[in-house]
Structures are given as C-alpha cells and as structure tokens.
Chains A and B, each alone.
Chain A
Amino acid sequence: DAKTTQPTSMDCAEGRAANLPCNHSTISGNEYVYWYRQIHSQGPQYIIHGLKNNETNEMASLIITEDRKSSTLILPHATLRDTAVYYCIVRVGSGGGADGLTFGKGTHLIIQP
C-alpha cells in the first residue's frame, strides 16, 4: 500500500471549512484514497473514499488532484463535534485486498469555538 503523509495537527474555527491535506505521491493506479476519523478513544468512523474523481457525501467532500499524488478532505462547516484524529489511507479497493486498512498517525483536527 502507498504511504501517506499528513500534518500532525491542525486548528479550524467553528463554522468554517476544515481542509485536511494528504500526500500520497507513490499511489498506484488501482489504489483508492480512504478517509476515516476517530473521536477520542471511540471506534474509527468511515468518512469517504475515492479513486480519481472528486466525491461528496453528507459528511464531507474529497478532492483528489489530477495526478492523484495528493488529496484534500473538506468538512464544509466544522463543528466542535468534528474534533478528532483524521486518517488518510491509500490501498487497493474493490475487487481484492482481503485485509485490513493500515492506519498511520493521522491529523489531529481541533475545532476552536
């Protein structure tokens, strides 16, 4: 699986958009970008995933650069409940890879009131 690089921590004001970057310069053509988050000591929660195109769901948007070497997770209107560690994970997605996700250290996002 391709390695990812994320900032250790970020701050964002409540109500503003939180933009979390992830570098994955060694990503392969069949590898997806997944985002999960973990609120203090709770189980990780799936947010979104994508291959090439930008994706949006009720929680967030995922913007993947054209060369796929980096991506940005966008929380459009951050709330205090969004304070969590956010993990960017790159791995083979559908069609194979019967193993678990490899979580790195992630970005600790702190939403400031």
Chain B
Amino acid sequence: EAGVAQSPRYKIIEKRQSVAFWCNPISGHATLYWYQQILGQGPKLLIQFQNNGVVDDSQLPKDRFSAERLKGVDSTLKIQPAKLEDSAVYLCASSYLGGHEQYFGPGTRLTVT
C-alpha cells in the first residue's frame, strides 16, 4: 500500500511570499490532517478534514493560512503571506474514518528568510 505523499519536500521562500503544499493521502482514508512541527516541538494540528468537510481548524491562522480538500482526496495547504515564524516542517497525515492510527507523510520543510 502506498503511503502518504507530499510535495515539495523542501521549500525556501522570502517573507511575504506565498507557498503551497500538496498532500495525497492513503487510498481509502477519509480523514486527512495537516500539522505544523517547529524544530524541537511536537506536531501541532492546523486542520483536520473528514472527506471534504472541515472537522477542526481551531489552530489554523486563518488570516494567512488556507487549506482545501477537493473531492475528499488530495489536499493543499497555502500560506500567504509567509512570516519568519512559519519556518517549520508541514506534515500531512491520514487515517481511516474513526481509525486509531494516523499515517504521516514525509513532510515539507519550509524555510522563510
């Protein structure tokens, strides 16, 4: 079974620029998560989708971050405009509906200069 795919793996941008990340979950997984992991910290949930509906986006900075999951499969996370403090690894994860285990993708390492 193919794992969670993410792209790009690395991205360097200047502050105030925009960036987008893409995630393709494991086939059949209804729930998709985007996490932000700052160096030395645990992952922090930004947004959780169930199929193409949002379950939790309470920690998403909505003035600059947006996410969508069209057709309940792939998802994109966008940052516009980026700030220095957005430098982090952005992890996508997926799980079966009601499943205990979240499967993480390899992540996208974002550096904002």
Q: Specify whether A and B are partners.
A: no
Q: A-contacting residues of B (Cβ < 8 Å)?
A: none
Q: B-contacting residues of A (Cβ < 8 Å)?
A: none
